[in-house]
């Protein structure tokens, strides 16, 4: 549906007389009816990417295809995409009805048809009876709904959403996440959603594209991104994780054997490509278990107990390796460990499948 | 013992009142001395009579106002309004794109461009008008160049025409149009223009449906700030229009300085003032707000 082909965007910095690449050679394909989230820290190029798809920015290099057509040199008003802006960008001099009808009015759709579709939209976003209100009389959540209605009434092929929930409070945000997801399923429109909120990305998307420094780090389904991060950045950015550096030792029973920084040998996931001598791997805290003695198929290392932190649903336990490195282990609060061996040596164990080798 | 609560409150209230009186006293005195009293004097004079030697005889009569409605004077007033309107529209025509360009220029250049607009203010406008005369007159710079380049054989009559008056007015009043326009355009949220484009509006439609309505207050303020003072500018038609172009402002000036007919001049001033008052009301009705008159 949308295809980015080696897209580069270079901005000339007026104040410093230098230029920098906000988006640096990215290629990405988005399927029809997909909910794709572009996730990354601020300044990673995600909004610039979205703005290039919308047509507000021209690609410095590369091409953008929408529905098979090269739109790289087309202005925004000739592209079959619509945008929901971060600041909503509702027209302050028009009431809600006219805001929503704006796109259809331009297309010279008949008045009765416009009326029917605006009413339908208002119903869909639960703003019936608000037609005559002005944008500044609405709450943040209501403005958000108007912005969405104003975009989807045009039946775009792709809907672009630029951190649309950023200005809402936590509770409303959760609610809107669910509503947006339902809306997307109901309409079957391709959504490209930009956010810096990883939870939002994980709950809403079919696929997530993680960007950093103008480049794509990884594209995958939420569980792929979470369970099998490809790079150190992804592992670190999404959720909490333990990242270890180790030396490649060899293969054992089809699994990778490596030596930890303090000299202990551990087993890692077999499916990961290993090339270098030093390798990096990540294990989620909830995939680690603390046991007085390791079980048969587990990999493990010995560590010392340091402290436990109670955070409601889970308990976080910090242990240290012989060289002082801290490792976080978390477990549901209900499954509290027998920590009678607190000051003694204990075993941190895991299933080798959950130790993922990552790129630096 | 504590004082009764009512008494305490009252003293608090009266001290508050005293405070606010003290705050508004200076401005009240100022307005009284330099606005209310002069206006009253002019109103009184407008109902008085001119003696043969040109002094004022204080006897109530309406003949001055009657005289204003003489056809010749009405024509002059009409012509003045027309020239003010032309000036305003020309200012808007050139000022809007200019203000838009400045507001969208990068920060680095914006202050320089604004400076270029404000800089001429620091020179006396009379001197600037003389400069225009040097450019436009028959043996002036423009004519000399055109003659030397053999583009024209005879010098063009540029000075002492209505066109010259318009140029002078346009030049003098231009900043009064640009500054309010700039301040509204600068506040315009450019993401709204992107939203319009996103929804399928080409640049022309975006301008008509979004930019123009959202900068309406700046347009109205600018028009008012140009139109009203233009009606009162007398030295430009005096200097650049010569004896051919007589506007209401020259007429009033002449009554006070040359004809020494103060009562008639005062009556005309009052009429012009009433007209301006009507325009202000009209402006408010059209949706401009008074605060927007504060330029920056």
Tens digits of per-residue pLDDT, A201-240? Answer: 999 999 999 999 999 999 999 999 999 999 999 999 998 9
Q: Which residues of B touch A92 (CB under 8 A)?
A: 192, 214
Task: Name the band, by pLDDT with cuts 50, 70 and 90, for residue A313.
Answer: confident
The answer to whether residue B160 is domain-embedded is yes
Whether A50 contacts A162, CB under 8 Å: yes
Under an 8 Å CB criterion, which residues of B touch A? 106-108, 189, 191-192, 194-202, 205, 209-210, 213-214
Q: Which residues of B touch A47 (CB under 8 A)?
A: none
Task: Name the band, by pLDDT with cuts 50, 70 and 90, for residue A274.
Answer: low
SS3 (DSSP) at A235: helix
- Picking from B107, B195, B214, the nearest residue to A89 by CB comes out as B195
- Picking from A81, A89, A151, the nearest residue to B192 by CB comes out as A89
Task: Name the band, by pLDDT with cuts 50, 70 and 90, for residue B296.
Answer: very low
- Distance of residue B194 Cα from the nearest chain A Cα, in angstroms: 7
Say yes or no for a CB contact (<8 Å) between B205 and A106.
yes
Residues B242-268, mean pLDDT to the nearest whole number? 88
Q: Is the pLDDT of residue B159 over 80?
A: yes
Say yes or no for a CB contact (<8 Å) between B194 and A76.
yes
Say yes or no for a CB contact (<8 Å) between B191 and A87.
yes
What's the longest Cα–Cα distance across chain A? Answer: 79
Question: Is residue A234 exposed (0-12), middle (13-18) or buried (19+ Cβ within 10 Å)?
Answer: buried
The answer to whether residue B19 is domain-embedded is no
Q: Which residues of B touch A87 (CB under 8 A)?
A: 189, 191
How are beta strands A356-358 and A158-162 bridged, if at all? unpaired
d(CA B117, CA B115) in angstroms, rounded, equals 5
How many beta-carbon contacts under 8 Å exist across A and B? Answer: 65
Say yes or no for a CB contact (<8 Å) between B196 and A107.
no
Average pLDDT over chain B, rounded to whole? 87
Report A:106-125 residues touching B (Cβ under 8 A): 106-107
pLDDT of residue B4: 52
A17 interfacial to chain B (CB closer than 8 Å)? no
Question: Is residue B64 exposed (0-12), middle (13-18) or buried (19+ Cβ within 10 Å)?
Answer: buried
Q: Is the pLDDT of residue B93 over 80?
A: yes
- Picking from A54, A90, A107, the nearest residue to B200 by CB comes out as A107
Q: Is the dihedral of CA A82, A88, A89, A91 positive or negative?
A: positive
- Picking from A14, A83, A107, the nearest residue to B108 by CB comes out as A14
pLDDT of residue B147: 87
The answer to whether residue B8 is domain-embedded is no
In chain A, the domains with their CATH numbers are 2-235 (3.40.50.300), 240-358 (2.40.50.140)
pLDDT of residue A263: 80
Residues A25-50, mean pLDDT to the nearest whole number? 94
Q: Which residues of A touch B209 (CB under 8 A)?
A: 102
Say yes or no for a CB contact (<8 Å) between B198 and A15.
no
Say yes or no for a CB contact (<8 Å) between A93 and B201.
no
Q: What is the pLDDT of residues A59-78, one digit of tens each?
A: 999 999 999 999 999 999 99
Question: Is residue A95 exposed (0-12), middle (13-18) or buried (19+ Cβ within 10 Å)?
Answer: middle
Q: Residue B114 corresponds to which tokens in the numbers above?
A: 């604004």
Q: What is the pLDDT of residues A319-349, one digit of tens each?
A: 888 888 899 999 887 765 666 555 567 888 8
**Structure-model confidence comparison of residues A164 and A360, the more confident one:** A164
**Structure-model confidence comparison of residues A52 and B20, the more confident one:** A52
Q: Is A218 left (phi over 0), alpha (psi -120 to 50) or beta?
A: beta
Say yes or no for a CB contact (<8 Å) between A55 and B197.
yes
Q: Which residue of A has its CA nearest to B108?
A: A15
A47 interfacial to chain B (CB closer than 8 Å)? no
- CATH number of domain containing B264: 1.10.3720.10
Q: Which residues of B touch A102 (CB under 8 A)?
A: 196, 199, 201, 209
- Picking from A89, A92, A93, the nearest residue to B194 by CB comes out as A89
CB < 8 Å & 24+ apart, contacts of B118-122 = B118/B175, B120/B175, B121/B175
The answer to whether residue B36 is domain-embedded is no
pLDDT of residue A290: 85
pLDDT of residue A256: 84
ipTM: 0.83
SS3 (DSSP) at A143: helix
Say yes or no for a CB contact (<8 Å) between A54 and B198.
yes
Q: Is the pLDDT of residue A51 over 80?
A: yes
Q: Is the pLDDT of residue B84 over 90?
A: yes
Residues B110-136, mean pLDDT to the nearest whole number? 87
Question: What pTM value is reported for the model?
Answer: 0.80
The answer to whether residue B221 is domain-embedded is yes
% of residues, chain A, pLDDT over 70:
94
d(CA A349, CA A299) in angstroms, rounded, equals 6
The answer to whether residue B264 is domain-embedded is yes
User: In terms of residue numbers, what domain contains B289?
Assistant: 70-293
Residues A119-136, mean pLDDT to the nearest whole number? 92
Question: Of A169, A101, A96, whose CA–CA distance to A134 is shortest?
Answer: A96
**Structural domain count, chain B:** 1
Whether A256 contacts A276, CB under 8 Å: no
The answer to whether residue B32 is domain-embedded is no
How are beta strands A2-13 and A61-66 bridged, if at all? antiparallel
Q: Is the pLDDT of residue B148 over 50?
A: yes
């Amino acid at each position: 549906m949308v295809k980015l082909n080696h897209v580069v965007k270079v901005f000339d910095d007026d104040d410093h007389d230098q230029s920098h690449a906000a988006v640096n050679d990215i290629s990405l394909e988005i399927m029809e009816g997909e909910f794709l989230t572009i996730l990354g820290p601020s300044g990673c190029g995600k909004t610039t990417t979205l703005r290039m798809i919308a047509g507000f920015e021209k690609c410095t290099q590369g091409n953008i295809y929408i529905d098979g057509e090269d739109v790289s040199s087309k202005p925004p008003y000739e592209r079959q995409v619509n945008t929901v802006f971060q600041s909503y960008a509702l027209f302050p001099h028009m009431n809600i009805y006219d805001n929503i009808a704006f796109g259809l009015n331009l297309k010279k759709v008949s008045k009765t048809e416009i009326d029917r579709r605006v009413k339908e939209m208002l119903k869909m976003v639960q703003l019936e009876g608000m037609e005559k209100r002005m944008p500044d009389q609405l709450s943040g959540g209501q403005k958000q709904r108007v912005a969405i209605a104003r975009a989807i009434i045009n039946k775009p092929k792709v809907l672009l959403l630029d951190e649309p929930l950023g200005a809402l409070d936590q509770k409303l945000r959760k609610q809107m996440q669910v509503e947006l997801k339902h809306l997307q399923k109901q309409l079957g429109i391709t959504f490209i959603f930009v956010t810096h909120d990883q939870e939002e990305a994980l709950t809403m998307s079919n696929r997530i594209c993680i960007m950093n420094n103008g480049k794509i780090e990884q594209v995958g389904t939420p569980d792929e991104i979470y369970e099998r991060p490809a790079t150190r950045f992804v592992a670190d950015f999404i959720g909490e994780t333990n990242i270890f550096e180790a030396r490649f030792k060899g293969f054992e029973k089809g699994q990778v054997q490596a030596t930890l920084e303090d000299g202990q040998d551990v087993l890692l996931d077999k499916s990961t490509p290993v090339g270098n001598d030093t390798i990096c791997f990540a294990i989620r805290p909830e995939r680690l278990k603390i046991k007085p003695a390791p079980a048969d198929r587990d990999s493990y290392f010995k560590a010392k107990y340091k402290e436990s932190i109670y955070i409601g649903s889970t308990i976080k336990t910090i242990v240290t390796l012989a060289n002082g490195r801290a490792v976080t282990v978390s477990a549901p609060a209900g499954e509290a460990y027998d920590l009678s061996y607190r000051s003694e040596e204990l075993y941190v164990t895991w299933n080798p499948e959950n130790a993922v080798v990552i790129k630096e | 013992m504590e004082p009764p609560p009512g008494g305490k409150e009252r003293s608090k209230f009266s001290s508050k009142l005293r405070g606010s009186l003290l705050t508004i006293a200076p401005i009240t005195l100022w307005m009284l001395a330099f606005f209310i009293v002069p206006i009253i004097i002019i109103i009184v004079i407008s109902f008085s009579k001119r003696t043969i030697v040109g002094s004022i005889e204080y006897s109530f009569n309406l003949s001055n106002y009657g005289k204003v409605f003489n056809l010749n004077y009405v024509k002059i007033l009409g012509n003045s309004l027309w020239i003010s309107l032309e000036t305003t529209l020309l200012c808007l025509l050139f000022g809007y794109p200019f203000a838009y360009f400045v507001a969208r220029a990068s920060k680095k250049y914006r202050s320089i461009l604004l400076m270029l607009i404000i800089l001429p203010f620091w020179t006396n406008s009379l001197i600037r008008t003389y400069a225009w005369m040097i450019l436009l007159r028959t043996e002036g710079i423009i004519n000399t160049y055109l003659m030397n380049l053999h583009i024209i054989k005879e010098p063009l009559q540029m000075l002492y025409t209505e066109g010259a008056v318009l140029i002078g007015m346009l030049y003098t009043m231009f900043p009064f149009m640009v500054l309010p326009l700039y301040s509204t355009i600068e506040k315009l949220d450019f993401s709204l223009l992107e939203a319009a484009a996103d929804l399928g509006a080409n640049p022309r439609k975006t301008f008509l449906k979004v930019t123009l309505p959202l900068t309406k207050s700046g347009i109205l303020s600018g028009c008012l700030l140009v139109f009203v003072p233009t009606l009162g500018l007398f030295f430009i038609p005096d200097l650049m229009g010569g004896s051919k172009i007589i506007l209401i402002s020259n007429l009033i000036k002449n009554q006070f300085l040359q004809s020494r007919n103060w009562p008639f001049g005062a009556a005309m001033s009052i009429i012009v003032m009433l007209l301006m008052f009507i325009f202000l009301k009209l402006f408010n009705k059209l949706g401009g707000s008074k605060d927007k008159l504060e330029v920056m």
